[in-house]
Amino acid sequence: MPTISMFYGILVFMYALDVQKHHLPHIHLQYGEFNAVIEIPGGELLDGSLPPKQMKLVQAWIALHSDELMADWTLAAAGSTPYKIDPLR
């Protein structure tokens, strides 16, 4: 599971070939004991949970990097390793 970004204690992952369970482009997140799956590019929660502050940070990051995230999704869906994306600063 490649880590594509990391900021403010939030780890962002994108699995290769992960198109079966959620059927939408998405990212996986981990923040402490919290785990979440968020749709891209819309930022909607598909599974799990994040504290409200971290959810807002992730949604802002998705908005800034939606084109890169969708390009990474295309790579991952085809079985390739996605590229790293700059963290939120």
Which residue has 């908005």 as its token pair? 63
How many degrees, rounded to 5, is the angle at CA 9 between CA 44 and CA 70?
Answer: 40
The answer to whether residue 20 scores a pLDDT higher than 70 is: no
pLDDT of 84 reads: 97
32, 12 Cβ separation under 8 angstroms: no
pTM for the model:
0.91
Average pLDDT over residues 69-86: 93
15, 28 Cβ separation under 8 angstroms: yes
Task: Work out the pLDDT band at 15, boundaries 50, 70, 90.
Answer: confident
The answer to whether residue 60 scores a pLDDT higher than 90 is: yes
Burial class (CB in 10 A: 0-12, 13-18, 19+), 61: buried
